[in-house]
Amino acid sequence: MNVGDKVTLPFGKGTKEGIVVRVHEKSIWLKVDFPKHPGKLVRRKINTLQSVAAKRGKKKARSSK
């Protein structure tokens, strides 16, 4: 992840899309637009965002019986 990349993050029951503002060793800062607070900065751990992205990419294999 680099500064300026768009990232989808889980938030509440849904997901939000944010833009990476800062990147640290284990966390990143995202700029997310909320209905009543546009441009809010949110900090998330890189591990959680990568694990969510990995889960979305996997598809369950169906077995034919």
- Which one is predicted more confidently, 48 or 56? 48
Strand ranges (DSSP E) for the chain?
6-11, 14-23, 27-32, 40-45
With cut-offs at 50, 70 and 90, classify the pLDDT of residue 48. confident
d(CA 37, CA 26): 26
The answer to pTM > 0.85 is: no
In order of 33, 39, 40, the CA distances from 57 in angstroms are 25, 28, 28
Per-residue pLDDT, 55: 72
Q: Say whether pLDDT at 22 is over 90.
A: yes
